[in-house]
Structure 1
Amino acid sequence: MGFTGNSGALSGIKVIDAATMVAGPLGASLLADFGADVIKVEPIGGDESRTFGPGRDGMSGVYSGVNRNKRAVALDLRTAAGLELFHELCSTADVLIENMLPGVRERFGLTAAELRERHPHLICLNVSGYGDSGPLAGRPAMDPVAQALTGLMEATGERSGKPLKAGPPVADSAAGYLVAIAALVALFAKQRTGEGQTGSVSLVGALFHLQTPWLGQYLLADYIQGKVGNGSNFYAPYNAYTTRDGGAVHLVAFNDRHFVKLTRAMGVEALVDDPRFADAASRLEHREALDSAFAPWFAARDRDDVVELLSAHDIICAPVLAYDEAVTHPQIQALDLVVDIDHDQLGPLRVPGLPVKLSGTPGHVHRPPTSLGEHTTEILRDLGYQDDRIAALRADSVVR
């Protein structure tokens, strides 16, 4: 059968996704969104993320969220035949994405140097917690550890509270985007040189770089951004205000013009003449008094009514939504950020859509998250294996 995906910008590019959990698989999915043939290589027992957290009918939401648009093969690298099969896949591919720890890579003969020697055409990207150099290189890590080490946790939380990690796995996601960028840059270079290369992306590096605006404040001005809750150290009003129905609306009025517009929209123009709120510096100094002055107005109205009223006056604001409301918000739907697709076993599914919109070479979701080993036979046939050989590999538990 072979690959039957869309003819996108990356059509003709083959990617081996041998990574687990979130970062590497997310990066591979982004490449698949734009036409790359991504083959997800899993151990016989499957990627650990298949059973990680809530899900249904044997598939976790985490796995479903980051593994669209792929074909899947399950094989056992601990067997000689399985390892050789993996090398056969690499010999036909342009990019390999993996997140094995150094000891595992050495055990299987898959270090950067060994891969470079055997597959000089291949772009080999390793995803790790700490990168491939430095005192922590080679140690296992997960998202909250990266949040702790890079300053994000210390900068997050209520002003007087203890450090708080972000809810979603922001380090994993940031690393996933950088995996896709690294692959694209290396593919562009390969067009010129014909050569592959090795590279690495780390959770720590990705999350540290994600904070460049606040890091810039420290590196340039020795300013350490402290915890601000839903507020800001630079503007007021800048907060999430509780509404009558138990909801909340976050708004920003970062200069005098916006503040005047806001008071007019709320019918509290008298606040403009209050010396505590006369200019941006005064409002910031008296932000708690300003929040207290605003609170009754929001508490007397329902969330959606507040958003409609303020939006009509071009106030920068949005309702504070949980996922169940966010996925149905008209703006999210207009951007196709949630996509409907059918799964062979699970039936209708909703999966995340594409955040990048291109007019000439748009991406799209054309395959649902895979079942374990779903395309093993198809992929082996692509490599020239006959059915009797495939059956023997399956009988020997080399593949599943």
Structure 2
Amino acid sequence: MGRTTIGIVLNGVTGRMGYRQHLVRSLLAIREQGGLALPDGRRLWPEPILVGRSEAKLREIAERHGLTEWTTDLRAALARPDVQIYFDSQVTAQREKALKLAIEAGKHIYTEKPTAEDLSGAIELARLADEAGIKHGAVQDKLFLPGLRKLDRLVKAGFFGRILSVRGEFGYWVFEGDWQAAQRPSWNYRAADGGGITVDMFPHWHYVLEQIFGRVAAVTAHVTTHIPQRWDEAGERYDATADDAAYGIFEIERPGQSGRIVAQINSSWSVRVYRDELVEFQVDGTEGSAVAGLRNCRIQHRAATPKPVWNPDLPATEDFRSQWQVVPDNEEFDNAFKAQWELFLRHVVADEPYSWDLWSGARGVQLAELGLASARDGRRIEIPALDGEPAR
């Protein structure tokens, strides 16, 4: 069978995530493997059209990778008949307007999260996409990481018995930018530009919890700005108006299990790392426990659980970490972003099932919005169903 080309507009490719993960490690990696195999034997060949605000940056990226299609005119790119998919990895404040233009142009939508700045905008995008009859997806990359895929495997196998709790730790120290350059762009710390760790990370935690454990039914959160002043890319000091740490408690309803699972997840750009990976989740159940990071996963079964005794008067003699068993890979794990891109492309071209859509993205925005409301009002909030979401 032959090769089928699919035009994909990539907006925001000059940014770190858009360039590194979505262009280089996903679409160009698919091309390097000879295209994406389709069920009918054809090979799907992604043809990126780069879009951004800087002609110089776009030209440099295109020349670096032997690409010829780039423009600063989004409307012109969307008007091209050879374009079928629009992808957005811009700053959050610019995303909703661009996605609406793509929907109006009849293009299938794939987008980074959060899908919009607020819940009403996220719901409207999902509704408009449904009404236009296009296919749509939101990036949920962490589900495809090796550590979380192993964790999901354990859950599906019933390893934990009745799941009791989830504890997550995410974050690292982002330098203030004065004597050492920051690892994240300055807009992340300005609320007016869509910054803040709650709106950034709560959508991630939502799909991780929902897809692996069950429906997120309630949230209690405390958010804060630990570092009130930072220095931007030009070395100018500015006020950090967005939160840089969020401490959340999420209640999860798991089908077939009585009682809610309690998930506690700390997210911080103001914490120094003393753990094996930048994010780790510990899951405890009646039959066993697991600790999963980005790549690794360790387990301790009920039958192999030691019996420590609290005695602060004596030094600990047990090596607690050595009492856990490593979960083997048992398969090759591809780049998480590339894995989801391949699923979405097959969804568009071969109509294969796909559940990580704009409605799922809207539920993530909802959790972030309600988390901020919980922190502001000092209360626990039950999470309602989204208005207008179709039954599944």
Instruction: Sort the TM-score into its range (normalised by shorter chain).
Output: under 0.3
Bigger Rg, structure 1 or 2 = 1
Taking structure 2 as the reference length, the TM-score comes to: 0.25
Taking structure 1 as the reference length, the TM-score comes to: 0.24
More strand by share: 2
More helix by share: 1
